[in-house]
Amino acid sequence: MSTPVVAGVAALLRAVHPEWSPAAIRSALMTTAYVKDNNGTSFKTNFIDSIATPLQVGAGHIDSNKAMDPGLIYDISFQDYVDFLCGLGYTNEQMRLVLKRNEWHCNKKLSHELNYPSFMVVLSNQTTYPMSMNFSRVVTNVGNDTFSYQAHLENIPDGMKIRVEPSTLTFTQKNQKQSFVVSVEIDKEVPRIIYCFLKWIDQHGHIVSSPIAAANHDAPQSFF
């Protein structure tokens, strides 16, 4: 039932904000989602009653009321998607099939530079440590007032270091854009996944949350 529910909430957001792109709607749903139940307990898996990770619950459980006023959005343009596909190494034939056109312009970017409201470091058994990765993002103010957001990092695990620059974003008008960089350093080999959350918090009650995860897909998965 999750798909029709999310589709319904997305349709509601489209009605309230007809000027928003699909990426903006997705961003609003993700950054206002919550990962704890009414008792303040983190969501758990059904299988072994362990705390669910972003690989299992994504950004969290959607909150339709908060999604209508997310404060900031991570928008993505058509050209951003073109650059993303180019960065993945798509051939000309593959690009034509996906884009349904014969001409396009590529500004090659690394795949993790897509302006997505989450941050993922992919590790393997061949990764050497320490390792680091930088993520560039642009957020758009969709509020109607002057807002100042402060970066907060929540639940940083052992072995992970994170820096956000700048750590404060100030907006003076609606639809103003600001960029920032998240630098993630992994000091040592990690289990299957470690993660934390970046939250941009303003003085009006907006909390714009994004998961930051590092996952080693070669590590054995433990169920106990």
**Alpha carbons 156 and 74: distance in angstroms, whole number:** 23
Beta-bridged to residue 180, according to DSSP, are 137
Give me the residue spans of the domains in the chain. Answer: 2-76+115-216
How much is the pLDDT for 58?
Answer: 83
Indicate whether 38 pLDDT > 90: no
Q: What is the pLDDT of residue 221?
A: 54
Task: Say yes or no to pLDDT of 23 above 60.
Answer: yes
Mean per-residue pLDDT of the chain: 90
Asked if the model's pLDDT at residue 20 lies above 90, the reply is yes
CA 113, 118, 120 angle in degrees (round to 5)? 70
Q: For 175-201, write each residue's pLDDT tens digit.
A: 999 999 999 999 988 878 899 999 999
CA atoms within 13 A on the CB side of 183: 9
> Mean pLDDT, to the nearest integer, of 35-43?
75
Residue 222 has pLDDT above 90, yes or no: no
pLDDT above 70 covers what percent of the chain?
A: 94
* pLDDT value, residue 223: 37
Flag whether pLDDT at 1 surpasses 60.
no
Residue 224, pLDDT above cutoff 50 = no
Contacts of 32 (CB under 8 A, 6+ apart): 62, 63, 66, 67, 70, 207, 208, 209
| pLDDT, mean of residues 26-38 | 90
Of 43-47, 139-143, 203-207, least confident by mean pLDDT is 43-47
Task: Name the CATH code of domain 2-76+115-216 (choices 1.10.3210.10, 3.30.300.30, 2.60.40.2310, 1.10.1060.10).
Answer: 2.60.40.2310
Q: Residue 135 corresponds to which tokens in the numbers above?
A: 């993520």
